[in-house]
């Protein structure tokens, strides 16, 4: 879709969000800056701005009719066709046009991104020819991915490959082709929907975080603009025409300036110093800061880079390269974002880095949190000074970022398919990403099948149809879908859990796991055991809200029927297997491992051990035990014993908290 | 699920109670730019019935007669590539008047059906690639209705987000590269007990209403009575409600005409901004939606001027799903708070026109 032809909200009429508009303009001036990632909550004009950018982009010269957008003035970089034309002494026709913004929709398939066999040509001529894909279209232009964090992993890999080399190498469907693919990657995302993979994150030269505007005057201005645009878009666009033109001119002037703007050694030092202060990995940041600062100076019409330029550049470049982004100013969103910023990939990245590379801001936040925790501790200890003998309902403890459980979850799918939480499915659901010759599922990939058959059509006897398909042509779809893990919480709600702050912490732990489960869109179920028996509090559901509500209301008190609890949890998993054999179930037991109610009339603890062994023998089920026993003078270590018996990963409740980063790291090395 | 065909004939006006939901749907019928509505509620609260019966009330639109996407013949920038090409060739586009469509997106839909795919027949017969339009193409300029929207597959939601945001469906799959206009009013129903909606999709709905079963005894009896009447004597039922239905239809047409001329004062705009800030909403879509909705409400009430009351009912619908939530907190608005903000900020009363 050519956005320049549509009636798009004018770029120069965007209210506020100067940081975003500036970052976009800087990228338009200097493609070498390496693209931009815009993170922000919904409704902050992210997509609007990128689409609007197309209208103010400068013009470039391309070889007219060349699908690869060759630059007519650079002989060495021409595509083979253009080169051949030059060698034959033909003058390349030159076309001046605006830089293009190419949309990459989330549902894109591999063949369209890379390019594939030209079907029509193959049928007619019986020969194979390459038909260019989006990467070819985007050469010397911009690829825009809306909701980039939702893009399919495989497609991301393909794009990263090309972006890394500036080349697209195609070896598929009997075609071998290579063309240049140098493009600016612009992505927008709402962090609420999950984080980006670090490899992709690093690919973006700049990253900015944007928010809604708080100033009422600006907000009213924004509503008014929007009202005018809705009423008569053509008129509105006309009214902004001169500003749009001015902006375009400014960009063009800045482009011309790039080659003779200077940066002093002093400023270069500042670039590196800022990068050092942010504890970034590698040297990429320094380089991008320098380039960005230069570009800012050009845009401002200056010949030399000033300190402000460097500071502004560092602000744009360092956000996603710092170990942890600075905390957002408002507190109420802090927790939310913290939990989201901790995707497992992030963690891996962090673990690769040195633990002492924590920036000051982060420490501050931590201290704040510690204070808060201490306050909570004080409160809860007051109210729980004696062990409650009767049933009581404890509040839900502080939620924290889940760290270790994800390491655990990471390993489960790897057995099966090697992709975390996402897997290739064999049922006919999920997103079609590419095709295969392997025949397994009867899930016909029509396009690939046709392409496979096309080159042979001249030799096949065709009656009424243009394409005859033979058995050997058939290709099947490879689909990918997020496999929601299925998590069954088995919660000990017996009297012993009332001691200290165990139940509060346990509830906090479950809440954290629930929040994590929500982002991965897992299904959850919950079993609680206390008194004489265990009970299914929550049948398998994806309503995390409901689980949270039940958790709040969960009472504590009575004896400990551990065995019944575990076996009930196991039963739920077994019955769910019948419904969906593709799930990865995970049973999480939160208990201190004590048992004093028998299910079959034997010894309570040995019964539990027996069930545990049964679960260990079922290889489909993964288990984890969170030991809530306080480490103190007298510990029984029963939960640890149980975990060995069950083949479960063993965690102490403290281990789940990620705040103790160093400790986790050390433990990781031990494992 | 009851028989769809039968439900289609149940009259919108014959639905007992549920005024909030009915209002939200009517507002969308008046002003398609409101961006749809999400109806949250328990089972059996006439959600689906209302949406399906809305089709009858919707005004006629003019389309390019032989265009697969039902392009608007009067606006070049909203046309598909073929129509633009035809215009460029100097061709006169044939115009046809038809009802606004309500297209249903079944929860089990596959991605190729939703966004469109390679036309198999054409490819095999002619050896050429051609795009076969999907549900999004059908829904262009109409209503896209998703029952149980929270149960939709994740990757279907992703493609919906893409096109709902910009009104264009970009297809780059299965060897086809195509894009066409896909501007639709998104109407979804969901039962929150079965899980929440993803935040990004939630925001794509302009308005949101929360409905409950009716607690009033008399009204409940009335529901059963009307249903029984309808099942026993559909023709008689139709006769009884025809008049009401026509009345509403006319009201919608009148409001549509009036809407263009509705003005909104500076004070009211500040009030809207104030509400958005005080309620601590995400982003700016809430402001824009409150502005549009309050204008539409004013038009529906036959006024050319937006009043505080309009803003209040607009805020109620536009903010429900846009509040920043604590983890697992149910989405919703404390109604008292909005009233508090509105009454705190003094806005001069406008004389009725």
**Which residue's entry shows tokens 């795919």?**
B117
The alpha carbon of residue B120 is apart from the nearest alpha carbon of chain A, in Å, by 7
Considering its fold, how many domains does chain A have in total? 4
Question: Which pLDDT score, from 0 to 100, does residue A433 have?
Answer: 74
Asked if residue A199 has pLDDT above 90, the reply is no
Determine whether the interchain pair B195/A542 forms a contact, defined as Cβ–Cβ distance below 8 Å: yes
Q: Which residues contact A608 (CB under 8 A, 6 or more apart)?
A: A562, A563, A566, A595, A642
Question: Which pLDDT score, from 0 to 100, does residue A645 have?
Answer: 85
Asked if residue A399 has pLDDT above 60, the reply is no
List CB contacts (< 8 A) between A339 and chain B.
Answer: 327
Same domain, A263 and A143: no
List CB contacts (< 8 A) between B328 and chain A.
Answer: 511, 514-515, 518, 544-545, 547-549
Same domain, A152 and A183: yes
> Mutate which of A9, A44, A51, A106 to test chain B, going by most B C-beta atoms within 10 A?
A106
Query: CA–CA separation, A603 vs A596, rounded Å?
Result: 8
Whether A263 is covered by a domain: the verdict is yes
Whether A344 is covered by a domain: the verdict is no
Contact A40, B285 (CB under 8 A): no
Whether A156 is covered by a domain: the verdict is yes
Whether A398 is covered by a domain: the verdict is yes
User: Could you say which of A128, A129, A255, A284 is catalytic?
Assistant: A284
Contact A299, A254 (CB under 8 A): yes
Residue in A46, A315, A346 with CA at minimum distance from that of residue A196 = A346
- DSSP letter at A382? H
- Beta-bridge partners for A651: A626
Query: CA–CA separation, B353 vs A510, rounded Å?
Result: 58
Report CA B112 to chain centroid distance, whole Å: 23
φ and ψ of A486, to 5 deg: -115, 115
Mean pLDDT for the stretch of residues A359-373 = 45
Which H or E run includes B285? helix B285-300
Task: From A294, A318, A342, give the residue that closes a domain.
Answer: A318
Token digits for A671? 């494992």
Same domain, A495 and A439: no
Q: Which candidate from B159, B287, B324 shows the least CB-CB separation from A223?
A: B287
Band of residue A461 on the pLDDT scale cut at 50, 70, 90: confident
Same domain, A548 and A499: yes
ipTM of the assembly? Answer: 0.81
Whether A376 is covered by a domain: the verdict is no
Domain that holds residue A267: 259-318
- Beta-bridge partners for A60: A97
Question: Which pLDDT score, from 0 to 100, does residue A425 have?
Answer: 53
The SS3 of residue A589 is strand
What does DSSP say about strands A476-482 and A422-425: parallel, antiparallel, or unpaired? antiparallel
Same domain, A516 and A570: yes
- DSSP letter at A306? -
- In a 13 Å sphere around the CA of A347, the CA atoms on its Cβ side amount to 22
Q: What share of chain B is helix, strand, coil (3-state, %, to 5)?
A: 50, 15, 35
Residue in A446, A346, A432 with CA at minimum distance from that of residue A106 = A432
Q: Is CATH 3.20.20.150 correct for B266-344?
A: no
Query: CA–CA separation, B325 vs A518, rounded Å?
Result: 14
Question: Which pairs count as long-range contacts for A469-472, CB under 8 Å and 24+ apart, including other chains?
Answer: A469/B124
Same domain, A184 and A126: yes
Between A76-90, A142-156, B317-331, the lowest mean confidence (pLDDT) is in B317-331
Same domain, A532 and A409: yes
Task: Tell whether A51 is within 8 A of chain B (Cβ).
Answer: yes
Token digits for A319? 């956000």
- pLDDT, tens digit (0-9, with 9 covering 90-100), for A3-27: 445 678 899 999 888 899 999 999 9
Q: What is the pTM of this model?
A: 0.72
Task: Tell whether B94 is within 8 A of chain A (Cβ).
Answer: no
Same domain, A586 and A655: yes
Query: CA–CA separation, A108 vs A234, rounded Å?
Result: 32
List CB contacts (< 8 A) between B112 and chain A.
Answer: 432
Between A25-34, A529-538, A574-583, the lowest mean confidence (pLDDT) is in A574-583
Furthest-apart CA atoms within chain A: distance in Å: 96
The SS3 of residue A595 is coil
Q: What is the CA radius of gyration of chain B?
A: 21
Task: From A432, A460, A482, give the residue that closes a domain.
Answer: A482
Nearest residue on chain A to B206, judged by CA atoms? Answer: A43
- pLDDT, tens digit (0-9, with 9 covering 90-100), for A584-595: 788 888 888 888
Residue in B212, B248, B209 with CA at minimum distance from that of residue B46 = B212
Whether A431 is covered by a domain: the verdict is yes
Which H or E run includes B166? helix B154-166
Same domain, A526 and A466: no
Same domain, A572 and A444: no
DSSP codes joined into one string, B25-51? HHHHHH-GGG--EEEEE-TTSSHHHHH
Q: Which residues contact A165 (CB under 8 A, 6 or more apart)?
A: none
The SS3 of residue B127 is coil
- Residues in chain B predicted with pLDDT less than 70, given as ranges, are 1-9, 195, 324-335, 344-353
Task: From A318, A348, A369, give the residue that closes a domain.
Answer: A318
Query: CA–CA separation, A226 vs A237, rounded Å?
Result: 12
What does DSSP say about strands B131-132 and B117-118: parallel, antiparallel, or unpaired? antiparallel
Determine whether the interchain pair B200/A545 forms a contact, defined as Cβ–Cβ distance below 8 Å: no
Q: Show the DSSP H helices in A455-603 as ranges.
A: 502-519, 544-553, 562-579
Same domain, A414 and A458: no
- Beta-bridge partners for B177: B172
Contact A3, A102 (CB under 8 A): no
Token digits for A308? 């402000």
Query: CA–CA separation, A597 vs A594, rounded Å?
Result: 10
Q: Structural domain boundaries of chain B?
A: 4-59+100-211, 266-344
Task: Tell whether A430 is within 8 A of chain B (Cβ).
Answer: yes
Catalytic site residue A284?
Answer: yes
CATH of the domain at A304: 1.10.8
CB atoms under 10 Å from CB of B160, counted, come to: 27
**Which residue's entry shows tokens 């070819």?**
A136
Asked if residue A439 has pLDDT above 70, the reply is yes
Determine whether the interchain pair B110/A429 forms a contact, defined as Cβ–Cβ distance below 8 Å: yes
CATH of B4-59+100-211, picked from 3.40.50.300, 1.20.120.420, 2.120.10.30, 3.40.50.360, is: 3.40.50.300
Mean pLDDT for the stretch of residues A60-78 = 86
Asked if residue A603 has pLDDT above 80, the reply is yes
Task: Tell whether B330 is within 8 A of chain A (Cβ).
Answer: yes
Which H or E run includes A623? strand A622-627
- DSSP letter at A402? B
Contact A506, A491 (CB under 8 A): yes
Same domain, A478 and A554: no
Between A179-188, A423-432, B204-213, B262-271, the lowest mean confidence (pLDDT) is in A423-432
């Amino acid at each position: 879709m050519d956005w320049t032809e549509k009636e798009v909200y004018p770029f120069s009429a965007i209210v506020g969000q100067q940081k975003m508009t500036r970052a976009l303009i800087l990228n338009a001036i200097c493609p070498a800056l390496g693209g931009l990632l815009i993170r922000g909550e919904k409704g902050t004009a992210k997509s609007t701005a990128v689409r609007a950018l197309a209208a103010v982009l400068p013009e470039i010269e391309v070889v007219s009719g060349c699908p690869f957008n060759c630059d007519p003035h650079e002989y060495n970089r021409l595509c083979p066709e253009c080169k051949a034309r030059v060698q034959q002494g033909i003058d390349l026709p030159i076309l001046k046009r605006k830089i293009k913004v190419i949309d990459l929709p989330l549902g894109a398939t591999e063949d369209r991104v890379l390019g594939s066999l030209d079907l029509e040509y193959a049928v007619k001529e019986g020969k194979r020819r390459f038909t260019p894909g989006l990467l070819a279209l985007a050469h010397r232009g911009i690829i825009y991915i809306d909701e980039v964090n939702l893009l399919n992993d495989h497609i991301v890999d393909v794009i990263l490959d090309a972006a890394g080399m500036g080349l697209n190498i195609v070896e598929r469907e009997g075609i071998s082709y290579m063309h240049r693919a140098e493009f600016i990657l612009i992505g927008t995302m709402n962090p609420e929907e999950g984080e980006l993979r670090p490899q992709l994150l690093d690919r973006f030269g700049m990253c900015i975080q944007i928010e809604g505007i708080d100033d009422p005057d600006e907000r009213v201005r924004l509503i008014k603009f929007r009202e005018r645009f809705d009423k008569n878009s053509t008129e509105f666009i006309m009214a902004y025409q001169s500003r749009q033109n001015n902006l375009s001119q400014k960009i063009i002037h800045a482009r011309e300036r790039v080659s003779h703007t200077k940066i002093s050694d002093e400023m270069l030092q500042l670039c590196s110093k800022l990068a050092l202060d942010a504890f970034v990995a590698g040297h990429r940041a320094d380089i991008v800061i320098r380039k960005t600062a230069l570009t800012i100076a050009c845009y401002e019409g200056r010949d030399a880079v000033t300190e402000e330029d460097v500071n502004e550049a560092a602000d744009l470049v360092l956000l996603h390269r710092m170990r942890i982004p600075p905390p957002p100013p408002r507190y109420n969103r802090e927790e939310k974002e913290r939990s989201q910023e901790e995707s497992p990939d992030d963690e891996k990245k962090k673990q690769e880095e040195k633990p002492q590379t924590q920036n000051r801001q982060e420490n501050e936040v931590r201290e704040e949190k510690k204070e808060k925790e201490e306050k909570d501790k004080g409160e809860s200890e007051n109210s729980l000074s004696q062990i409650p003998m009767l049933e009581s309902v404890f509040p839900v403890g502080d939620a924290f970022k889940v760290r270790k459980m994800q390491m655990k979850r990471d390993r489960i799918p790897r057995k099966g398919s090697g992709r975390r939480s996402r897997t290739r499915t064999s049922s006919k659901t999920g997103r079609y990403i590419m095709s295969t010759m392997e025949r397994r599922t009867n899930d016909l990939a029509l396009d690939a099948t046709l392409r496979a058959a096309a080159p042979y059509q001249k030799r096949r006897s065709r009656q009424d149809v243009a394409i005859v398909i033979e058995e050997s042509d058939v290709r099947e779809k490879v689909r990918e879908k997020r496999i929601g893990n299925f998590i069954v919480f088995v919660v000990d709600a017996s009297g012993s859990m009332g001691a200290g702050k165990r139940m509060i912490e346990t509830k906090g732990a479950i809440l954290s796991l629930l929040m994590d489960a929500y982002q991965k869109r897992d299904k959850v179920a919950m079993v609680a055991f206390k008194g004489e028996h265990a009970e299914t509090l929550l049948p398998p559901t994806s309503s995390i809200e409901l689980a949270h509500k039940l958790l709040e209301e969960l009472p504590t008190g009575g004896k400990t029927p551990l065995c019944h609890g575990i076996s009930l949890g196991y039963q739920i998993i077994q019955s769910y297997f019948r419904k969906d054999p593709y799930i990865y179930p995970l049973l999480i037991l939160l208990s201190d491992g004590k048992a004093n109610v028998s299910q079959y009339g034997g010894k309570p603890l040995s019964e539990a051990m027996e069930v545990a062994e049964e679960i260990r023998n079922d290889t489909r089920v993964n288990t984890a035990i969170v030991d809530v026993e306080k480490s103190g003078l007298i510990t029984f270590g029963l939960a640890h014993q149980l975990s060995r018996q069950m083949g479960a990963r063993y965690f102490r409740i403290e281990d789940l908290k990620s705040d103790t980063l160093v400790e986790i790291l050390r433990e990781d090395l031990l494992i | 699920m009851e028989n769809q065909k039968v439900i289609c004939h149940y009259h919108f006006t014959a639905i007992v109670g549920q005024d909030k939901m009915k209002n939200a749907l009517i507002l969308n019928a008046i002003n398609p730019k409101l961006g749809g509505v999400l109806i949250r509620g328990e089972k059996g609260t006439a959600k689906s019935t209302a949406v399906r019966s809305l089709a009858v009330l919707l005004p006629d639109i003019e389309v390019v007669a032989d265009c697969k996407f039902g392009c608007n013949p009067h606006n070049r920038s909203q046309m598909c590539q073929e129509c633009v090409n035809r215009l460029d060739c100097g061709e006169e586009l044939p115009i046809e008047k038809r009802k606004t469509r309500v297209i249903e997106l079944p929860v089990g839909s596959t991605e190729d059906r939703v966004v469109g795919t390679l036309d198999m027949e054409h490819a095999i017969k002619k050896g050429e690639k051609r795009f076969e339009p999907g549900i999004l193409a059908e829904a262009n300029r109409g209503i896209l209705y998703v029952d149980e929207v929270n149960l939709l597959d994740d990757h279907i939601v992703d493609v919906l987000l893409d096109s709902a945001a910009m009104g264009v469906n970009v297809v780059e799959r299965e060897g086809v590269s195509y894009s066409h206009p896909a501007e639709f009013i998104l109407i979804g129903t969901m039962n929150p007990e079965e899980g929440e909606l993803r935040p990004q999709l939630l925001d794509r709905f302009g308005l949101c209403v929360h409905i409950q079963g009716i607690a009033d005894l008399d009204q409940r009896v009335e529901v059963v009575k009307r249903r029984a009447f309808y099942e026993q004597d559909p023709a008689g039922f139709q006769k009884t409600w025809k008049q009401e239905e026509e009345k509403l239809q006319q009201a919608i047409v009148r409001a549509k005409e009036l809407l263009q001329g509705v003005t909104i004062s500076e004070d009211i705009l500040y009030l809207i901004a104030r509400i958005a800030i005080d309620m601590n909403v995400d982003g700016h879509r809430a402001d824009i939606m409150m502005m549009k909705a309050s204008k539409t409400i004013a038009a529906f009430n036959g006024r050319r001027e937006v009043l505080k009351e309009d803003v209040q009912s607009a805020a109620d619908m536009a903010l429900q799903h846009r509040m920043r939530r604590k983890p697992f907190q149910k989405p919703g608005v404390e109604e008292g708070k909005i009233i508090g903000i509105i009454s705190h900020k003094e806005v001069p009363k406008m004389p009725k026109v």
